[in-house]
Amino acid sequence: MARRTTPPPPEDFEEHILDTDIQQEMESSFLEYAYSVIYSRALPDARDGLKPVQRRILYTMNDMGLRPDRGHVKSARVVGEVMGRLHPHGDGAIYDAMVRMAQPWSMRLPFIDGHGNFGSPDDSPAAMRYTEARMAPAAVAMTASIDEDTVDFRPNYDSRELEPSVLPAAIPNLVVNGTTGIAVGMATNCAPHNLVEVVQALRHLVKDPRATLDDLMRYVPGPDLPTGGKIVGLDGIRDAYETGRGVFKMRASARIENVTARRKGIVVTELPYGVGTEKVIERIKTLVQAKKLQGISDMKDLTDREHGLRLVIEVKNGFVPEALLEQLYRLTPMEDSFGINNVALVDGQPRTLGLKEMLEVFLDHRYDVVRRRSRHRRGKAADRLHLVEGLLVAILDIDEVIQLIRSSDNAEQARERLMEVFELTEPQATYILEMQLRRLTRFSRIELEKEQSELQRTIEELDAILGDDALLRTVVSDELAEVAKTYGTPRRTVLLESAGAPVSSAVPLEVADDPCFVYLSSSGLLARTATDEPPGQGGGRANHDVVVSAVRATARGDVGGLTSTGRLVRIGVLELPQLPGTANDPHLAGGLPVSEILALEPGERLLALCTLAADGPGLALGTRQGVVKRVNPEVLNRDDWEVVRLADGDEVIGAVELTTGAETLCFVTTDAQLLHFGADAVRPQGRSGGGIAGVRLTAGATVLWFGAVDPDAPEGSVVVTASGSSTALPGTEPGAVKVTPFSEYPPKGRATGGVRCHRFLKGEDALVFAWVGTAPARGAADSGAPVELPPATGRRDGSGVPGSQPLAACAGPVAARFGGRPDGSSDGPSDGPSDGPEGAGSAPAGVEG
């Protein structure tokens, strides 16, 4: 490899070495760099609220004619123009500033109308060769009247062009959009505000320049962030408005919803300013993995363009969503701080400004802009009026003017002769020589006279503005009102004095394992109560709200559910919704359909609920073919278990959890036979047992109802039966209803046929409904409407009273059912209103309507 050698200096070369102190050189170089960063890059001007790069972008786009009514152009074209003409820095810095001005989540009032992928709070934008841009309507207000000598211009970096030192800025951009920047030894961070509120404060300040901060805060109570959310605590805001420095807390907007039928979730719709969903999700994942945050089962980011931000955080069963939300605020960016530091350039010097100072600087700038604009327009109008007056002089003697011009040797001689003969000035004579002949008509004279009067009126109005400060303030105030009307939007951020007492200090994160009741309704709804007090006998009962089974449990415990196929399924109580009613007025309006909890086979029904205690008399069940079985309690501790072996075509028709073992088991068949015997007559069996004979059935008959009756109930028990035709369409049976005291029926031995309980009339051949329970009883039709039952009569007193509509369910007093025996045999009514979402009008456990 060849070595490079330095050529020797020429013979006449003289060496001069200048000694410089390194400390002095570093100080001067660093000071120059600091000045450049402060004044030319990082800090905004307090008048238009723009940094140099932002100002140059808007000025260049205005020069290129990229207005809102024109088409978009490639962003790379705009960046190239700005970089080549005005901004001697890299294209990345220019494009980043341009992208920020186009993002509605970064600026409260965007100045760039972007077309393409301009990023998101979490993602960077596409390259500038892929995106397009043009000026937004608000940017037009920032550059309006810039060509009317309203602002000063200065040379660009190579002194080949001029650029504005500030924009006319009809919008108070520094307050409305805020800004952020880091210079050398100082930084700025201004919060965005609502345009309408800021304009109201400005107009009040125009009217009363001595207004106090409290007066202005009546119009500007606090920042209005582009992403909405909430601001908690206003003390820091007042400090910032007074001194230019302050801190306030931003909080996400979230609500608690039922994200699924079985789970609640926290739905986040707005995040703090500058916080993206990915940042929140990543932080939550880190906390969950570190086991510092519990109770979250899943997170879904459902954000789209149609519905906006939607972050769904699913809460595990057993955790209080309100307490979890408080932990999310405390541990994640869903609550963040914003430090206000209002540093901006005023008269070329960085200053920390309060709210009133920022508004006053902007108003002074607008006064100067309107004054200079008026002066410029007056000069233009006066020049035009001067020319119009010369034209009117020429038109009065147009023939002589034409003759004079024709007789002149050249244009210069014609100009001098016009000035001498008609006493015109040089601009007037030049304008007449350049005028077209078509302007020299009678109609043109009328137009010129009209224009002359309009120009004189315009000059008078502009002179009034220039000569009267009060009128100048009025013009500025009216223009601000028009800006607010054109570009103003409603407030997005909610201001809160304080967050109140933290939920986590009063409510535990996890649901307490308190005693409760679990309900199963005739319409197939499951729910739990918030108390272990049995419900009272309140007002009327609405449709589909008959409780057919209820068991005591705890909020974090489990209960069992027996299905018509003989399966015993474990049900977690926490998965069930809590009843919205009170203990004295329960209802199942918020209940959960059984199909949302259990995976049932086609045709399989949930019949009854039971506890999963390993001791006690166990569970008794009866099948459609007359089989009865008592299940040992030891088999009731599985998640999903068959508790009876059924024959082909058989199914469980009723089930009840025994409490004492002294209950009376009862069968009612479709051929109107009733059999009851003591539960001690049935020997308990294990899981694989198929049961024993319960009732002897005649040919074609099946079991219609099975349950248990408490022989010691003080109110006594009744038997409710309804007859009809087995060949009639469902719901059209003529039917008759009969109510009989249970004591009228003598007990018979197990596996016998029982006794007659209902006599059929003409057209009737079967029972279509049967129920045995504690009196007084109520009925419910297939539609769920209450049905009045006839009074109790003797067993041999006829076939019953004709029913107005077919029965579907029946119930006795609710309090009796919970008197130490909450089983499925005593079906009680629930006294609150409800319309069950599934299985409307279906029969309760052990009942087939």
**Mean pLDDT (whole number) for 145-160:** 94
Least confident among 10-14, 406-410, 516-520, 642-646: 10-14
Q: How far apart are CA 51 and CA 162, in angstroms?
A: 17
Q: How far apart are CA 162 and CA 145, in angstroms?
A: 16
SS3 651: coil
**Mean pLDDT (whole number) for 44-52:** 95
- Cα–Cα distances (Å) from 726 to 654, 697, 731, 799, in that order, read 21, 17, 11, 17
Q: Which residue has the tokens 């009063």?
A: 506
Exposed e or buried b per residue across 694-716, where buried means at least 16 C-beta atoms within 10 angstroms of its C-beta? bbbbeeebbbbbbbbbbeebeee
**Mean pLDDT (whole number) for 167-174:** 97
* Structure-model confidence comparison of residues 3 and 486, the more confident one: 486
Would you state the CATH architecture of domain 367-487? Orthogonal Bundle (1.10)
Least confident among 94-108, 189-203, 542-556: 542-556
* Sign of the torsion formed by the C-alpha atoms of 66, 67, 72 and 74: positive
What is the enclosing helix (H) or strand (E) of 594?
helix 594-597
Token representation of residue 848: 């087939």
| Residues that are catalytic | 130
pLDDT of residue 755: 92
Residue 242, C-beta contacts closer than 8 angstroms, at least 6 positions apart: 213, 354, 355
pLDDT at residue 827 is higher than 60? no
pLDDT at residue 79 is higher than 90? yes
**Mean pLDDT (whole number) for 336-350:** 93
pLDDT of residue 534: 52
pLDDT at residue 768 is higher than 70? yes
* Structure-model confidence comparison of residues 731 and 209, the more confident one: 209
Task: Give the best-scoring range by mean pLDDT among 12-21, 489-498, 501-510, 776-785.
Answer: 489-498
Least confident among 247-251, 550-554, 708-712: 708-712
Q: Which residue has the tokens 């100045």?
A: 111
pLDDT band at 822 (very low <50, low <70, confident <90, very high): very low
Q: How far apart are CA 125 and CA 100, in angstroms?
A: 10
Q: How far apart are CA 258 and CA 590, in angstroms?
A: 11
Geometric angle at alpha carbon 199, from 197 and 203, rounded to 5°: 120
Would you state the CATH architecture of domain 515-829? 6 Propeller (2.120)
Any long-range contacts for 305-312 (C-beta under 8 Å, 24+ apart)?
308/269, 309/227, 309/268, 309/269, 309/270, 309/271, 309/277, 310/267, 310/268, 310/269, 311/267, 311/268, 311/271, 311/277, 311/280, 311/281, 312/259, 312/265, 312/266, 312/267, 312/268
Would you list the DSSP string of 339-392? EEE-EEEETTEEEE--HHHHHHHHHHHHHHHHHHHHHHHHHHHHHHHHHHHHHH
pLDDT band at 507 (very low <50, low <70, confident <90, very high): low
- Cα–Cα distances (Å) from 93 to 35, 54, 79, 100, 486, in that order, read 19, 10, 10, 11, 31
- Cα–Cα distances (Å) from 556 to 11, 504, 510, 528, 572, in that order, read 100, 20, 10, 11, 7
Token representation of residue 124: 């960077």
Cα pseudo-dihedral 621, 570, 645, 753, rounded to 10:
10
Q: How far apart are CA 482 and CA 170, in angstroms?
A: 10
Q: Which amino acid is at 13?
A: F
pLDDT of residue 230: 94
Least confident among 70-79, 92-101, 301-310: 301-310
Predicted structure pTM score: 0.74
**Mean pLDDT (whole number) for 273-282:** 94
pLDDT at residue 685 is higher than 80? yes
Least confident among 311-315, 409-413, 470-474, 497-501: 497-501
Q: How far apart are CA 567 and CA 492, in angstroms?
A: 55
Query: Do 838 and 524 meet the contact criterion of CB atoms below 8 Å apart?
Result: yes
Domain ranges of the chain: 34-193, 253-333, 367-487, 515-829
**Mean pLDDT (whole number) for 400-410:** 88
Token representation of residue 358: 């920022």
Instruction: Count Cβ atoms within 10 A of the Cβ of residue 425 and give its class: 0-12 exposed, 13-18 middle, 19 or more buried.
Output: middle
Instruction: List, in sequence order, every residue forming a beta bridge with 256; answer none if it has no partner.
Output: 266
| 355-396 vs 195-207: helix crossing angle, rounded to 10 | 80
pLDDT of residue 104: 95
User: Residue 679: how many CB atoms within 10 A of its CB?
Assistant: 20
User: Residue 349: how many CB atoms within 10 A of its CB?
Assistant: 9
pLDDT band at 443 (very low <50, low <70, confident <90, very high): low
Instruction: List, in sequence order, every residue forming a beta bridge with 554; answer none if it has no partner.
Output: 515
Q: Which DSSP symbol is given to 510?
A: B
The phi-psi region of residue 285 (left if phi > 0; otherwise alpha if psi is between -120 and 50; otherwise beta) is: alpha
For the chain, what percent of residues have pLDDT higher than 70? 85
Q: Which DSSP symbol is given to 191?
A: P
pLDDT of residue 761: 83
**Mean pLDDT (whole number) for 399-427:** 90
pLDDT at residue 276 is higher than 50? yes
pLDDT tens by residue, 565-619:
988 888 888 888 777 554 444 456 667 788 888 888 888 899 988 888 777 778 8
Residue 511, C-beta contacts closer than 8 angstroms, at least 6 positions apart: 318, 319, 320, 555, 556, 574
If we measure between CA atoms, which residue out of 699, 746, 739 comes closest to residue 720?
Answer: 739
**Mean pLDDT (whole number) for 54-58:** 96
pLDDT band at 657 (very low <50, low <70, confident <90, very high): confident
pLDDT band at 455 (very low <50, low <70, confident <90, very high): very high
pLDDT tens by residue, 535-572:
443 333 445 557 788 888 888 888 888 899 988 888 88
Beta strands in 500-596 (DSSP E): 515-521, 525-528, 546-554, 558-563, 567-572, 592-593
**Mean pLDDT (whole number) for 199-217:** 96
pLDDT tens by residue, 793-820:
776 666 666 665 566 667 654 323 333 3
So what CATH class is 34-193? Answer: alpha beta
pLDDT of residue 579: 72
Q: Pick one of 3.30.1360.40, 3.40.50.300, 2.40.50.100, 3.90.550.10 as the CATH number of 253-333.
A: 3.30.1360.40
What average pLDDT does the chain have? 84
Alpha helices (H) in 65-208, listed in sequence order: 75-85, 91-100, 137-143, 173-176, 195-207
**φ, ψ dihedrals at 290, nearest 5°:** -85, 0
Residue 662, C-beta contacts closer than 8 angstroms, at least 6 positions apart: 678, 679, 680, 711
**Mean pLDDT (whole number) for 28-50:** 81
Least confident among 220-234, 467-481, 735-749: 735-749
For the chain, what percent of residues have pLDDT higher than 90? 49
